[in-house]
Amino acid sequence: MENIVKIQNVSFNYKHIEESEHVIRALEHVNLEIEKGSFTAIIGVNGSGKSTLAKHMNGLMLPEEGTVIVDGMVTGADDLIWKIRQTVGMVFQNPDNQMVSAVVEDDVAFGPENLGVDPGEIRERVDMSLKAVGMYDLRKKAPHMLSGGQKQRIAIAGVVAMLPECIVFDEPTAMLDPQGRREVMEIIEKLNHENGKTVVLITHFMDEIAGADRVVVMDDGKVVMDGKPRDIFSKVEELKQLGLDVPFATELASRLRKDGIDVPKDVIMMEELVDFIAEKRLQCQ
């Protein structure tokens, strides 16, 4: 399969302007390839370099060392920056910071307008994007009247309207209530499964990751684990040492195992655990 993003040996330091000696190493020789059409989750404790890495994926930040290639384009080449930003869209944590207009549909039109898309096509893209996130009926509303989850769906529609091949979500549910989190996760999964978008999801909520194809674990600016969710989450102790949680079902399964119940090690979804326990009960009867 083709890779839409290639991160090759990338390092990045933040320098404090007032203390020029003081350098924070945010990324250290990171190598990562994102396959077209895949769903990759990136996890890691605060400050492990996730957001810095995300911003390298569409040229918002440029590597100090190493190379980032987006769909064959090297980031940093001046004439390609808009093409790169159009190929990889980004959705951030705070929906309020991503709203620019007083009406929902104008907000979604903002991106394609900036790309110089024809007005007729903008209309089509706005309608398509609002339908994709289930917000078409609210297109005439003012964004500030909407819930956090709805605002975040509008922000996602704004990115979808630019027709990116890949969308990087940097903690898109961090500021939402459980209902908003569910709404936004459903949209993200749908964009991957039904619309074929490549998804990169950064999150602290381990339950959001069970459906990903792949989990990348970052620590101190480096990729320290990379694999399928089931393989990564079966390493409960290793993850805990990195300061990370596991999905609730995995945690519960691990405790049951400690109590001598032979729950399989690769349980990550609650339904699986429920099925296992139901079967056990049947066998006991």
Ligand X SMILES: Nc1ncnc2c1ncn2[C@@H]1O[C@H](COP(=O)(O)OP(=O)(O)OP(=O)(O)O)[C@@H](O)[C@H]1O
Q: Closest CB to ligand X among 44 and 148? A: 44
Q: Closest CB to Mg ion among 132 and 202? A: 202
Q: Are 180 and 173 in contact (CB under 8 A)?
A: yes
Q: Are 76 and 12 in contact (CB under 8 A)?
A: no
Confirm or reject binding of residue 52 to Mg ion (CB under 5 A).
no
| Rounded Cα–Cα distance for residues 59 and 52 (Å) | 11
Binding mask 8-47 for ligand X (x = CB under 6 A): ------x---------x-x-----------------x-xx
Among 51, 86, 173, 198, binds Mg ion (CB under 5 A): 51
Question: For residue 23, with 0-12 CB atoms within 10 Å meaning exposed, 13-18 middle and 19 or more buried, which class applies?
Answer: exposed
CB of 184 to Mg ion, least distance (A): 17
Confirm or reject binding of residue 49 to ligand X (CB under 6 A).
yes
Give the torsion sign (CA, 228, 72, 199, 196): negative
| Rounded Cα–Cα distance for residues 233 and 250 (Å) | 7
Number of other CB atoms surrounding residue 38 within 10 Å: 18
**Piece of 49-57, 208-216, 240-248, 254-262 that binds Mg ion (CB under 5 A):** 49-57
49 contact choice in ligand X, Mg ion, none (CB below 5 to 8 Å, kind-dependent): ligand X
Confirm or reject binding of residue 52 to ligand X (CB under 6 A).
yes
Binding mask 197-226 for ligand X (x = CB under 6 A): ------------------------------
Q: Closest CB to ligand X among 47 and 227? A: 47
56 contact choice in Mg ion, ligand X, none (CB below 5 to 8 Å, kind-dependent): none
Confirm or reject binding of residue 75 to Mg ion (CB under 5 A).
no
What are phi and psi for residue 16, nearest 5 degrees? -80, 125
| Rounded Cα–Cα distance for residues 263 and 96 (Å) | 43
Q: How many residues bind ligand X (CB under 6 A)?
A: 11
- Per DSSP bridges, beta strands 222-227 and 214-219 are antiparallel
- Per DSSP bridges, beta strands 198-202 and 166-170 are parallel
Q: Which residues bind ligand X (CB under 6 A)?
A: 14, 24, 26, 44, 46-52
**Residues making contact with Mg ion (CB under 5 A):** 50-51
